[in-house]
């Protein structure tokens, strides 16, 4: 894990610098700076809207007595997207803007949640077959 993080902290800034240099050659330094500031401002505005929408979904699910697990994961993803969008550069902006697509974000959150749940179900092999440990609770609201 350390090697992956080290590589990311080394590679991402180098990629950002290379992209900024190439865009600067094409558009000039002033327009490149304006583009960087513009993507950060646009990202912040979209992030605010998406964050408030996700917060409303969390509150609605909690009012109905449902666990807002997917929405909480989406909120965490929006937090990361905000950090990516406010980081100067275009490489990180691409990933930040991808997270702002609601359908994609929802799909990633559901996949993460399904994998998380699957990895935390304990299965034991016995003579009688598989024993799957888990929790079950019934909801009275229908």
pLDDT tens for 78-106 read: 999 999 998 899 999 999 999 999 999 99
Higher pLDDT residue, 58 or 121? 58
Residue 135 belongs to a domain? no
- pLDDT surpasses 70 at 127: no
Please state the rounded mean pLDDT for residues 110-139.
68
**Residue 103 lies in domain:** 2-119
pLDDT in tens, 25-75: 999 999 999 999 999 999 999 999 999 999 999 999 999 988 888 999 999
Residue 142 belongs to a domain? no
Q: Lowest-confidence range among 15-19, 86-90, 129-133?
A: 129-133
Residue 141 belongs to a domain? no
pLDDT for position 92: 94
Q: How far apart are the first and last CA of the chain?
A: 44
115: Cβ–Cβ under 8 A, 6 or more apart, which residues?
Answer: none
pLDDT for position 85: 92
Q: From residue 39, how far is each of 33, 67, 70 by CA, in Å?
A: 10, 34, 27
Strands (E), 18-135: 122-126, 129-133
Residue 62 belongs to a domain? yes
- Gap between the Cα atoms of 42 and 47, Å rounded: 8
pLDDT for position 117: 77
Residue 125 belongs to a domain? no
Residue 129 belongs to a domain? no
What global pTM score does this model have? 0.74
SS3 assignment, position 23: helix
- pLDDT surpasses 70 at 120: no
Residue 126 belongs to a domain? no
The number of domains in the chain is 1
Residue 61 belongs to a domain? yes
- pLDDT surpasses 60 at 124: no
Contacts 24+ apart (CB under 8 A), 23-30: 23/90
């Amino acid at each position: 894990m350390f090697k992956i993080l080290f590589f990311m902290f080394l590679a991402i800034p180098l990629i950002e610098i290379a992209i900024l240099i190439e865009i600067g050659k094409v558009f000039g330094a002033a327009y490149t700076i304006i583009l960087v500031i513009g993507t950060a401002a646009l990202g912040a505005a979209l992030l605010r809207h998406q964050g408030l929408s996700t917060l409303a979904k969390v509150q609605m699910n909690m009012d109905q007595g449902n666990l807002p697990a997917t929405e909480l994961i989406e909120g965490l993803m929006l937090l990361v997207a905000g950090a990516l969008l406010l980081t100067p550069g275009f490489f990180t902006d691409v990933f930040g803007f991808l997270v702002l697509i609601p359908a994609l974000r929802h799909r990633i959150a559901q996949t993460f949640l399904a994998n998380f749940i699957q990895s935390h179900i304990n299965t034991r092999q016995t003579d009688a077959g598989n024993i799957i440990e888990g929790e079950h609770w019934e909801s009275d609201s229908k």
